[in-house]
Amino acid sequence: MIRNVLGSVLALIGAAAAVLSPFRDWYDGRLGRHYRIDELFTGITAGRPGALGSILLAFLFAALLTVVGVVLRSRPLVVFAGVVVLGSTVLWMVRQGQSTGSLTVAGDGSGLGRGVAEAAAGGALLLVGAAVMSGRRSARGTHDRPYAAPGSESPDTWPPTQEPGPSVQTSTLPEPEPEPYTGPDPAAHRPAPGPGHAAAPEDRDTAPYPVAPGTGRGKGPDESPRESPGEGPDEPGEDRPPRR
């Protein structure tokens, strides 16, 4: 903000000096507005044009560019205005030197006058003001820009991990979740029973139904009670009296 204000002030001062310079003496008491603008390219003549046909027109155009550049905080416009002022002044000096054979500076007012110095100083102030200005920032601020992922030289910053210490994960994909059980499989390390070995108690199949209280291990809920040794099915060939 301060740079824009300071640069704008310098640019406006330079534009004002450039506009006032054609009303000063430029060479041998001749005012700057007495030189035609086309004489900067064709050569100096003795004619005296109007105000809008003289060098003043170029300086007014530069002042207009300066005002627009200050309002828009555009550094290129202010730089272009300074180039117009300095370019017009240098071209005039070249054509004037060709017309008179040399350019002199004298204390009695002959030779180069005060107007040339003001025009050159105004163009320089325009360039300095453009250099001091910070310019107009883009509509999208730097805080709205997404942060770029760091490279492989700092793997502990992307992606974020919950584990202490530097991370070796450099992929943008999320880290895989651990399995709920990470211990070894007990069946993989237990030797298989041989032909003459019985299975371990923990390897036997459990009962398909819950065992009722008071029953033995070999008697299930669906098994009928064992018959006494004297009671068995009727054997063939024996006649037993019918039961009453």
Confidence at 52, pLDDT banded by 50, 70, 90: confident
Whole-angstrom CA distances from 37 to 33, 34, 68 are 9, 9, 23
Alpha helices in the chain (DSSP H): 2-20, 39-42, 55-72, 75-100, 114-132, 186-189
Query: 13-17, 66-70, 102-106, 118-122: which has the minimum mean pLDDT?
Result: 102-106
Secondary structure of the chain: what % helix, strand, coil (to 5)? Answer: 45, 5, 55
pLDDT, average across residues 52-70: 93
Mean per-residue pLDDT of the chain: 74
Q: Is the pLDDT of residue 84 over 70?
A: yes
Q: Is the confidence at residue 225, as pLDDT, over 50?
A: no
CA distance 151 to 172: 11
Q: Which residues contact 132 (CB under 8 A, 6 or more apart)?
A: 3, 6, 7, 10
pLDDT at 53: 86
Q: Which of 231 and 97 is assigned the larger pLDDT?
A: 97
CA-based angle 154:156:162, to the nearest 5? 170
- pLDDT score of 220: 47
Q: What confidence tens digit (pLDDT) does each residue in 147-195 have?
A: 666 555 655 545 555 555 555 555 566 666 666 655 566 555 555 555 5
Partners of residue 238 on adjacent β-strands: none
Residue 140 has pLDDT above 90, yes or no: no
**What three-state secondary structure class fits 191?**
coil
128 φ/ψ angles, rounded to the nearest 5 degrees: -65, -40
- pTM, entire model: 0.56
CA distances from 151 to 101, 142, 156, 165, 176 (A): 66, 21, 10, 18, 21
pLDDT (0 to 100) of residue 228: 47
Beta partners for residue 145, in sequence order: none
Q: 28 near 154, Cβ under 8 Å?
A: no
pLDDT band for 209, please (50, 70, 90 cuts): low
Q: Specify the residue for token string 């002199």.
A: 104
Q: What is the mean pLDDT of residues 82-89?
A: 95
| Confidence (pLDDT) at 237 | 46
Given this model, what pLDDT does residue 45 score?
87
Give the integer Cα–Cα distance in Å for 83 and 91: 12
Instruction: Report the DSSP beta bridge partners of residue 181.
Output: none
The first and second tokens of residue 34, run together, are 């007495």
